[in-house]
Chain A
């Protein structure tokens, strides 16, 4: 007899004949933690899933934005030595580069903030330490995003 042979009931020959049949069905086992009408509504959303997905989506976009940024600032046209107020003014005269830099600022800050949130979650064990580190992280993140956005939108090439 082949060892891979199985009977119609799904029970292998080693175990012998099936205990259950159409007339004598196996008992139905309730899945554990099944939601019923009586279970309270979940208090958790899908934040961690959204954050995980955001890291991957923003990551792909950032590869393009940041490597383009590095090419322009550090490689092309004399590298870092050409950068100065006049160079910034020239680039931000174009809405294309304003949108590029704005997208890079927001995506990179949120991507980095979520990364650091994960690091804090991993290594800071005391609840108070976690609270303070995350408070500091979120404050610094909001401040930097707002400051950068304000600078891009209110840039004045004729400032004295």
Chain B
């Protein structure tokens, strides 16, 4: 553990940990995603072959996880901006985190059918 680091726990620390973990995951995906998209310069066949793996049920589940990470990072990022720039931001940081979590749950429920629907049809027939 780095010296002199103070972990205070509760909403403030755990939202910071989640922001960090989701940020690193999204960044690593971004590298892969730019590389797979770059295949459009190789040939249509090469690109379509790789995109076909994105349409398999297992990768669909990973996509759902990616959406989860991105939505949390986006919503919590807006909360961080509010904490920094809104005069009452620090006072309401906990309430804002629970708002973020609530909006995130609603959006994740809404994303189930669009993101996982085709995988379910493939697995269980339509």
What is the interface of chain A, defined by CB distance below 8 A to chain B? Answer: 56, 59-60, 62-63, 66-67, 70, 74-75, 78-81, 83-86, 88-89, 105, 108-109, 112-113, 115-116, 119, 122-123, 125, 140, 144, 147-148, 150-151, 154-156, 159-160
Query: Cβ of A155 and Cβ of B74 under 8 Å apart?
Result: no
Query: Cβ of A83 and Cβ of B51 under 8 Å apart?
Result: yes
Closest to B84 in A: A56
Q: How far is the CA of A51 from the CA of B70 in the complex (A)?
A: 21
Query: Cβ of A155 and Cβ of B117 under 8 Å apart?
Result: no
Query: Cβ of A85 and Cβ of B44 under 8 Å apart?
Result: yes
Query: Cβ of A85 and Cβ of B111 under 8 Å apart?
Result: no
**Chain A at the B interface: SS class:** helix
Contacts of A74 in B (CB 8 A): 63, 67, 111, 114-115
Which of B43, B48, B117 has the most C-beta atoms of chain A within 10 angstroms of its own C-beta?
B48
Expressed in whole angstroms, the minimum distance between the Cβ of B40 and any Cβ of chain A is: 6
Q: Which of A70, A83, A159 contacts B41 (CB 8 A)?
A: A159
- Give per-residue flags for B34-73: 1 if the beta carbon is below 8 A from chain A beta carbons, else 0: 1101101101100110010011000010010001001100
21 A-B pairs with CB atoms under 8 Å apart are A70-B67, A70-B70, A74-B63, A74-B111, A74-B114, A75-B115, A79-B114, A80-B54, A80-B63, A81-B118, A83-B55, A85-B40, A86-B44, A88-B37, A105-B34, A116-B24, A144-B35, A148-B38, A151-B34, A156-B41, A159-B43
Query: Cβ of B31 and Cβ of A144 under 8 Å apart?
Result: yes
Query: Cβ of B47 and Cβ of A116 under 8 Å apart?
Result: no
Query: Cβ of A63 and Cβ of B74 under 8 Å apart?
Result: yes
Q: How far is the CA of A107 from the CA of B47 in the complex (A)?
A: 24
Query: Cβ of B74 and Cβ of A66 under 8 Å apart?
Result: yes
Contacts of B40 in A (CB 8 A): 85, 88-89, 151, 155, 159
Contacts of B51 in A (CB 8 A): 83-84
Query: Cβ of B30 and Cβ of A79 under 8 Å apart?
Result: no
Q: Which of B54, B77, B115 contacts A83 (CB 8 A)?
A: B54
Q: How far is the CA of A159 from the CA of B48 in the complex (A)?
A: 14
Those 10 A-B pairs whose CB atoms lie nearest each other, nearest first: A112-B27, A85-B44, A75-B114, A148-B34, A59-B77, A63-B74, A115-B23, A81-B118, A151-B38, A85-B47
